[in-house]
Amino acid sequence: MTEKFQPVKGTRDFLPEEKILRQSILDVLRKAFEEFGFSPLETPAIETWEIATKKGSSDSTTDVYREIYRFKDQGERELTLRYELTFPLARVIAANPQIPKPFKRYQIGKVWRDGPVKTGRYREFWQCDVDTVGSASLTADAEILAMYTKIFKELGLKVVIKINTIKFLDNVLSYAGVPPEKRNAILISLDKLEKIGLEEVVKDAKERGISENEIREVYKIIKDIDPENPDIDNDGIKEGLEDITELSRLAISMGAKNIYFVPTLTRGLTYYTGPIFEVFLKSGALSSSLAGGGRWDNMISDFMGSKEKVPATGTSFGLDTIYDAMLLEGKLEKQKTVTDVFVIPIKTKEYCLGVVRELRELGINADMDIMDRSISKNLSYANSLGIPYCIIVGHEELMKKVVKLRDMKSGEERLISLAVLKNEIKYPKRGKKPKKTK
Amino acid sequence: MTEKFQPVKGTRDFLPEEKILRQSILDVLRKAFEEFGFSPLETPAIETWEIATKKGSSDSTTDVYREIYRFKDQGERELTLRYELTFPLARVIAANPQIPKPFKRYQIGKVWRDGPVKTGRYREFWQCDVDTVGSASLTADAEILAMYTKIFKELGLKVVIKINTIKFLDNVLSYAGVPPEKRNAILISLDKLEKIGLEEVVKDAKERGISENEIREVYKIIKDIDPENPDIDNDGIKEGLEDITELSRLAISMGAKNIYFVPTLTRGLTYYTGPIFEVFLKSGALSSSLAGGGRWDNMISDFMGSKEKVPATGTSFGLDTIYDAMLLEGKLEKQKTVTDVFVIPIKTKEYCLGVVRELRELGINADMDIMDRSISKNLSYANSLGIPYCIIVGHEELMKKVVKLRDMKSGEERLISLAVLKNEIKYPKRGKKPKKTK
């Protein structure tokens, strides 16, 4: 019976018990983005097919194009649902040349991909993107790393930040004699090193047409490399490593912690041009990254068809993964409602209208019986929603100008005056597990 | 050149100067919704055609159906972009019978309509819906009115809340002998009474096939009616008026102000079943309503095909109209960035990385030069974005462990220590005009 009312395949309803927590994560992100001087941008969900596919025709991108939802409006325009927030940023930059640079913006919004649905893969999902457009400085990259540290500390998650640079990777490959056409294949294999070990990587690489010799040669170059003291006679590799050292130093000065150089880290191979970064749970309990990004100096000028480079760097946060990580690490407690206090009148409805009004004026999330239910039914309603406190007002309380405050967890009840109520309530930290009291 | 990069017809980009303010309005709404015990819900943008058109086939609704964006996924599912947030709520109720009632939810999200584009009409826009599902009590309606007062006070807008009931309107029409098939036409004309006056309404009604006699008869009944003391021998009309009186009384007890009974107010004629409400700017400077709603007791059970009624009441806030109203009334000041303080190093970059870090740790939105620009260029950048303060750090300041704080409006500069900086900054109230200092 309820089957036919389920959301469309690949999409999800978020009932309050999930939405409250997801929203609290977005609030933390937004606050940190703004503290780091990134301002909000909003672009439409609908973009033309022409704009959506303007970015280029590299392999990985074309794959994405196949997953674009496509339709026409009544004026026969070829439209799409955006599949990411990056090309809309490029479009905004192109449409608004007056915007002062650097342009630091964040955008939190949904994107859509008509792809295969599996665990952790949806057709409609949120992206939280932060980018600095117009600065080629490593300081702009470093800022992203410092922001990671601030955000994940705030969320209560212990993380490691892995970094690398495309410059280092590309120079290692050419130094090892890997032909350009094998670049992406070998890097994709190499990226699995930390997870599956060298021998499996060799097997994986072979299946991608890389010889055992090639992959072992690359591995030999990178395995013991020390970015601060590289023992190698190749200027390109040295420059890549200098970037790593400088990036770490700047990031640490800005507050970043737990940065690790991972010489096999690869991501967005057709896209990134400089430093790349990825954030993982320190415990390793989740294999997906919580956030990732890098420098992408070519895309905007390619998109605009302009000769002048528009350097950019940034990151994307995975709301679904962060949510899963926080649940896993016990940092979230599900709640079915935002209501902190539920008011139950016993033949004192008129008076209680004023009580609930006062609570709300105090900034307390308050609700009251609107069903004319009995006390026990009201208590059981409040209980089913996980509301932490009830206030019960009978004739006696009304006369004494007090209310009966019931702690729904302990069942403890006591009479107090409204004036002191605010200080008596322990607010559940929405999105955070309430701190244990000793 | 920039022409081809404009957003799709009927959609908009919101650059930071607009998005910051729009977001601040949404924050006010969200806070009030939660104080009133409404919890957030999220549903997908994509719904099936079958679900999207399940609601019924009344005239006004069918019009909306024509404006639905329609497409197929790769699995040939018939999909749509949601055109409102109400039917998705009905779907969620149907899909989750376990949800305790009353279910008080809010949803803030985009909706899409492929209709004509004109001033104030877009193809992609935000809806902010608040509804209580499962209570037939007037207290639930009253709560909405009290919430209006709280929200518009918080936004700094002086408003009037106009109310009426469908019960009153329908009984007046049958008492006046208006045949049912003319109901909607006459009510649509009557709704214009406040704006255009009786004689124009008579003309308008005639064009809709209503006789002068009919419209004057209805007008005669309602023109001097006093809901608290109705001089009329019709029980239906009396009951409608009793609802009005009771609703006002409850709402006022919960904190509502400026409620007016407007016997010609009509809205959502095929949709609402009880009290209806609409909020307007008191000054009359905008003719569109800022918010509106009412009781809709039939829709969910119709949608579910269930015999058991699922009563509901609620309201929708118009983000675009509220934004326009606030600009009009001078309640908003546009800002191109969220940054409060911009740090400019003079050969003190290393030190400044720590300064900007400290500012951010204090919760101040802070940014710094990432372009290695000269002081004057940095000041002009900060100025172009409207950043209120700059901090300039040269060697001398560094030695003295102070910073030079420059008020960008007055140009005043003084040396202060970072420790006291936080108290020295007057934060611009984002979304509110900064209070004038005497």
Identify whether residues B217 and B148 lie together within a single domain.
Answer: yes
DSSP B367-398: EE-SS---HHHHHHHHHHHT-SEEEEE-HHHH
The pLDDT score that the predictor gives to residue B229 is 87
Contact A360 B143 (CB under 8 A): no
Residue A434 lies in a domain: no
- Residues B227-272 have pLDDT tens digits of 888 889 999 999 999 999 999 999 999 999 999 999 999 887 788 9
Burial string for A378-393 (b: 16+ CB within 10 Å, else e) reads: bbebbeebbbbbbbbb
A17 in a structural domain: yes
Strands across the sheet with B275-281, in order?
A: B39-40, B103-112, B124-133, B312-317, B291-295, B275-281, B159-165, B259-261
Contact B8/A353, CB-based, under 8 Å? no
Q: Which of A27, A135, A139, A425 to mutate to test the interface with B (most CBs of B within 10 A)?
A: A139
Q: Is A354 in contact with B253 (Cβ distance < 8 A)?
A: yes
* Lookup result for tokens 């190749």: A234
Amino acid identity, residue B273?
T
Are A315 and A366 in a shared domain? no
pTM: 0.94
What is the structure's pLDDT at A436?
39
Confidence bin at B74 (pLDDT 50/70/90): very high
Which of B305, B371, B311, B307 is CA-nearest to residue B343? Answer: B371
Q: Quick check: A73 contacting B, CB < 8 Å?
A: yes
Residue A398 and residue A306 share a domain: no
Whether residue B94 contacts residue A2, with contact meaning beta carbons closer than 8 Å, is answered with yes
Query: What's the pLDDT score for residue B347?
Result: 95
User: What CATH number is attached to the domain comprising A145?
Assistant: 3.30.930.10
Paired with B406 in beta bridges are B390, B413
Nearest to A8 among B77, B338, B364 (CB): B77
Please answer whether residues A83 and A113 qualify as being in contact, where contact means their C-beta atoms are separated by less than 8 angstroms: yes
First to last CA, chain B: 48
Residue B437 confidence (pLDDT) above 80 = no
Residues B130, B108 contacting (CB under 8 angstroms): no
Lowest mean pLDDT among A114-118, B25-29, B239-243: A114-118
- Chain A, residues 254-283, CB within 8 A of chain B, namely 254-255
Q: What is the number of domains present in chain B?
A: 2
Residue in chain A closest to B42 (alpha carbons) equals A14
Which of these three, B267, B301, B328, is where a domain ends? B328
| Residue from the list B70, B363, B366 with its beta carbon closest to the beta carbon of A71 | B70
Q: Is residue A248 part of a domain?
A: yes
- What confidence score (pLDDT) does residue A59 get? 43
Whether B420 and chain A come into contact, CB under 8 Å, resolves to no
Same domain? A136 vs A243 = yes
The domain in which residue B208 lies consists of 3-328
Residues within 8 A of B (CB atoms), A 290-319 only: 304
Structural contact between residues A61 and A303, judged by C-beta atoms closer than 8 angstroms: no
Residue B78 lies in a domain: yes
Q: Do A54 and A112 lie in a common domain? A: yes
**pLDDT for B127 beyond 60:** yes
Same-domain pairing of B36 and B130: yes
Q: Note whether A171 and A237 are within 8 A (CB).
A: yes
Distance of CA A87 to the CA centre of its chain: 18
Chain segment A274-329, per-residue pLDDT in tens: 999 999 999 999 989 999 999 999 999 999 998 999 999 999 999 999 999 999 99
- Mean pLDDT value of segment A204-211: 92
Last residue of a domain, one of B299, B328, B357: B328
Single-letter amino acid, residue A362: L
Residues A260 and A372 both lie in one domain: no
Does a structural domain hold residue B437? no
CB contact under 8 A, B40 and A46: no
Strands A312-317 and A124-133: antiparallel
Query: Is B49 domain-assigned?
Result: yes
CB-based contact, B381 to chain A, within 8 Å: yes
Nearest-angstrom CA–CA distance, A38 and A104: 5
Considering the domain architecture, whether residues B129 and B12 belong to the same structural domain is answered as: yes
- Count Cα neighbours of A264 within 13 Å in the Cβ-side half-sphere: 23
Same domain, residue pair B368 and B264: no
Residue A224's pLDDT is what? 83
pLDDT value of position A110: 97
* pLDDT for residue B420: 87
Quote the percentage of chain A above a pLDDT of 90. Answer: 81
Task: Give the pairing of strands B39-40 and B103-112.
Answer: parallel
CB-based contact A100 B370, cutoff 8 Å:
no
Give the number of other Cβ atoms within 10 Å of residue B16's Cβ.
25
At A349-389, the pLDDT tens digits run: 999 999 999 999 999 999 999 999 999 999 999 999 999 99
Q: The domain spanning residue B389 has which CATH number?
A: 3.40.50.800
**Neighboring chain A residues of B91 at a CB cutoff of 8 Å:** 5, 7
pLDDT one-digit tens code per residue, B176-211:
999 999 998 998 888 888 889 999 999 999 999 999
Q: What integer pLDDT is reported at residue A302 of this predicted model?
A: 92
Mean local confidence (pLDDT), B90-100: 96
Cβ contact, residue pair B124, A45, below 8 Å:
yes
Q: Is the pLDDT of residue A227 over 80?
A: yes
Asked if the model's pLDDT at residue A431 lies above 70, the reply is no
B397: confidence class by pLDDT, cuts 50, 70, 90: very high
B6 to chain A, any CB pair closer than 8 A? The answer is yes
B432 lies in some domain: no
Minimum Cα–Cα distance from B150: chain A residue:
A361
Distance CA A159, CA A148 (A): 9
Domain boundary among A328, A363, A390: A328
Q: Which residue has the tokens 């704006």?
A: B195
Is the domain of A354 the same as that of A307? Answer: no
Mean pLDDT of the A59-69 span:
75
> Are B200 and B270 part of one and the same domain?
yes
Distances (CA, A) of B270 to A144, B93, B145, B189: 52, 21, 22, 15
Distances (CA, A) of A147 to A143, A379, B372: 6, 44, 21
For residue A194, the model assigns a pLDDT of 86
Average pLDDT score over chain B: 92
Residue B434 predicted with pLDDT over 50: no
pLDDT, tens digit (0-9, with 9 covering 90-100), for B341-392: 999 999 999 999 999 999 999 999 999 999 999 999 999 999 999 999 999 9
- Residue A435 inside a domain? The answer is no
Q: How many CB atoms lie within 10 A of CB B9?
A: 14
Specify whether B143 is located in the same domain as B44.
yes
d(CA A414, CA A405): 5
